[in-house]
């Protein structure tokens, strides 16, 4: 597998602890694919905003969707924005209070969203969202109808300008602190899955993908 590394732009170049940065597409894709939510920062006449929304990746684009009446979706097509995704993996405990840190994976994407106007591409994108949420579910549910699709806007942003920053491993202590007797290490954080809970009005046997949900790691 060939990994493409794009050069950083002036606004994506990581300057603080630059050794934790990455500009590899494969690393970016892995972080985005593990996420169900992203945060989108933008500006309008009322000030600055940062709004969480569902997201999913198809090839070289990140997708979002919402109602045609969404103020945010309208604004995102008119100006550049910043999209972020963060996974917190653990707390890192060092000998010094100021050397405590966190293990994490994060991505920032810059650019402008564009509307997916082609009906076939819009349908395919929404199908991909359902498949990302729960693989296998799409074949069991009622698909969207013409009215629902007509009321929905699907946007995408190209993954052409981005930065990834991530950390893993234990603490990095100063030499002068090594004699201080205190426990050091990592307190891992995981995003677990609970057992599926049937709705009170459910009238079907639990499908395999729901039964397996609590047995798989997120």
Token match 């009005």: residue?
A: 201
**In the chain, helix, strand, coil percent, each to 5?**
25, 35, 40
Helix, strand, or coil (residue 160): coil
Mean pLDDT, 10 residues at a time, the chain of 218 residues: 77 87 93 97 93 97 96 93 97 97 97 96 97 94 94 97 96 95 95 92 94 77
Six-digit token string for 179: 């004699």
Question: Domain 18-182 is of which CATH architecture?
Answer: Roll (2.30)
pLDDT at position 192, please? 86
d(CA 137, CA 208): 10
Whole-angstrom CA distances from 212 to 155, 168, 193 are: 32, 29, 10
Q: How many residues does the chain have?
A: 218
d(CA 129, CA 214): 20
- What is the model's pTM? 0.91
Q: Are 104 and 94 in contact (CB under 8 A)?
A: no
**Structural Rg of the chain based on CA atoms:** 21
Whole-angstrom CA distances from 79 to 112, 157, 167 are: 6, 12, 31
- For the chain, give every domain's residue range: 18-182
pLDDT at position 218, please? 52
- Between CA 122 and CA 2, with CA 57 as vertex, the angle to 5 degrees is 130
Six-digit token string for 206: 């639990």
């Amino acid at each position: 597998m060939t990994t493409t590394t794009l050069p950083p732009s002036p606004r994506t170049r990581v300057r603080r602890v630059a050794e934790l940065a990455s500009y590899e597409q494969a690393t970016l894709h892995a972080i985005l694919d593990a996420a169900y939510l992203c945060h989108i920062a933008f500006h309008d006449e009322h000030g600055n905003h940062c709004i969480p929304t569902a997201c999913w990746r198809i090839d070289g684009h990140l997708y979002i969707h919402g109602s045609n009446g969404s103020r945010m979706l309208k604004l995102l097509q008119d100006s550049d924005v910043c999209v972020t995704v963060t996974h917190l993996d653990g707390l890192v405990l060092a000998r010094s209070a100021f050397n405590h840190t966190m293990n994490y994976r994060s991505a920032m994407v810059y650019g402008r969203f564009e509307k997916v106007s082609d009906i076939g591409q819009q349908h395919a994108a929404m199908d991909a969202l359902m498949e990302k949420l729960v693989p296998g579910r799409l074949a069991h549910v009622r698909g969207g109808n013409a009215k629902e699709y007509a009321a929905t806007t699907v946007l995408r942003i190209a993954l052409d300008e981005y930065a990834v920053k991530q950390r893993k491993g234990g603490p990095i202590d100063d030499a002068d602190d090594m004699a201080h007797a205190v426990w050091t290490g990592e307190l891992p954080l995981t995003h677990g899955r609970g057992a599926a809970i049937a709705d009170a009005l459910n009238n079907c046997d639990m499908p395999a993908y729901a039964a397996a949900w609590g047995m798989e790691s997120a």
